[in-house]
Amino acid sequence: VLLCRLAEVGRLETPKIQGKYDTGQLFLHRVFGYRGVVLFPWLARVYDRDVPNKRDSGNQIRCRQETGQGQNQQAWGTGFGKLALSLMGWGLEDGNFNYVGKEVKGCTQTFYQVLIDARDCPYIRAQTEAVTFLGNQDSSRSLYAIPGLDYVSHEDILPYTTTEKLPLQHELFDKFLMYYPEKDPPFGAQETLRAWQKKNHPWLELSDVHKETTENVRVTVIPFYMGCRESQAASVFWWRYCIRLENLGELSVQLRERHWRIFSLSGTLETVRGRGVVGQEPVLSPSLPAFQYSSHVSLQAPSGHMWSITVGVVSLNHLEETPLYILFGIINWNTKSAEEGYRCPAWLGTFRMEREDGYTFDCRIPPFSLESKSEDTGTNTSAV
């Protein structure tokens, strides 16, 4: 018999349909249930592949080159273009992988940087050290994390109020926020929070969110640029990405495998299958419908070309000891900008899911691009 005791934490308020929540707003997470506090908002472009597009031309795969006259001419590139075509031709008819070439329009939505109550961290089905940073030394590949830092969409905020002066247990709470009894909410930003936000803005910034649903399982991917580190051979650009799986159906499902189609720098195509993710095979049930994890990827830009050739190649060192690379998103062969040149669709990957009735299916991962930023200004320098 499991005995539990209820404790009062505050009084729920009506969620905001319009506007945004202020710094210091206490909340409960709609999906993960933890207590948190809002630090500051982000405006993100959300690309939801479940939303119908009026201009969607279906799943036809094409590779086009924009000409100087603005006309579209079908063209197949050389080098990486042939590699992309061979990748597309491999398993093109199985329907298990996502079509990157489908046009998806983004809409702007509000997300929040938040602190998580340390008392709730052991019970959250998400990594509570998911926000990581590169070490300060340019030559270092070391990572460090801030525990209990998360990103939350506006729709997942359930606001509440409390009369406690210290309602949240987190080592940064009293460093970032101060109690103002006359305010609503009664917590406001200290100068340390504003300085921290300004200093780390380029590496904290949330800009793009990608979503896709398969068989009532929604996958959300959020990539973050972490910065560049120099080595003797080349510059190494680092990203972290967060993946959230959420079961929207009534039957429980379990993540059994991850499946990537990849190629190495030698140009050979390979398939990698692995059990679960981050050492787990999570069950997504109606009572515990979501699981969230993070990982890291790195990319080496060729000298003088930035992302012109290897823009669609990311290292999957967390899967294998030897560096493997996955072709994803859109490959750009142009050396001048991302708006010109050859663009070919490719695949990203799937999760193999098993439902409680024994039915198995491949859950598509929405394709996403990696964008670098100027470390001096925090602005985008290139994009897929």
What is the average pLDDT value for the chain, to the nearest integer?
73
Q: Are 122 and 33 in contact (CB under 8 A)?
A: no
Per-residue pLDDT reduced to its tens digit, 264-290: 344 445 566 889 998 899 999 999 999
Within 10 A of 185 (CB to CB), how many other CB atoms are there? Answer: 21
Q: What angle do CA 98, 103, 107 make, to 5 degrees?
A: 105
Q: Express each pLDDT in 189-214 by its tens digit.
A: 999 999 999 988 888 888 899 999 99
- Residue 31 has a pLDDT of 95
Each residue's pLDDT tens digit, 65-124: 333 333 333 333 334 443 443 344 333 333 333 344 567 888 999 999 999 999 999 999
The predicted model gives 33-46 an average pLDDT of: 96
Shortest CA distance to 291 belongs to which of 368, 349, 363? 363
pLDDT at 382 over 90: no
pLDDT reported for residue 134: 77
pTM to 2 decimal places:
0.73
Name, in order, each residue with C-beta under 8 angstroms of 74's C-beta and a sequence gap of 6 or more: 62, 63, 64
Assign 2 a pLDDT band (cuts: 50, 70, 90). Answer: low
What per-residue confidence (pLDDT) applies to 216? 97
Contact 187, 177 (CB under 8 A): yes
Q: Beta strand pairing status for 217-230 and 208-214?
A: antiparallel
Q: Look at residue 130 in the predicted model and tell me its pLDDT.
A: 67
DSSP states of 279-316: TB--EE-SSS-EEEEEEEEEEEPPTTTTTTTTTTEEE-
Query: What pLDDT score was predicted for residue 141?
Result: 56
Using CA atoms, how far residue 243 sits from 1, 10, 131, 177, 221, in Å, is 35, 31, 13, 29, 5
Burial of residue 138 (CB within 10 Å: 0-12, 13-18, 19+) is exposed
Question: Of 208, 181, 15, 38, whose CA–CA distance to 108 is shortest?
Answer: 208
Section 251-271 average pLDDT: 69
The DSSP bridge pattern shows strands 177-179 and 35-48 to be unpaired
- Who has greater pLDDT, 9 or 364? 364
Under 8 Å between Cβ of 283 and 354 = no
Beta-strand runs (E) in 231-371: 235-247, 253-263, 269-275, 283-284, 290-300, 313-315, 325-327, 330-332, 342-345, 349-355, 360-364
Is 354 a residue whose pLDDT tops 70? Answer: yes
User: What is residue 377's predicted lDDT score, i.e. its pLDDT?
Assistant: 41
Reading across the β-sheet that carries 330-332, which strands appear in turn?
72-74, 64-66, 342-345, 330-332
What's the fold here for domain 16-55+65-364? Answer: Immunoglobulin-like (2.60.40)
Residues 139-158: tens digit of each pLDDT: 455 677 888 999 999 999 99
Q: Could you report the per-residue pLDDT of 213-235, keeping only the tens digit for each?
A: 999 999 999 988 888 877 777 77
Distance CA 293, CA 241 (A): 9
Name all contacts of 309-312 with Cβ < 8 Å and 24+ positions apart: 309/79, 309/80, 309/333, 311/338, 311/369, 311/370, 311/382, 311/384, 312/84, 312/346, 312/384
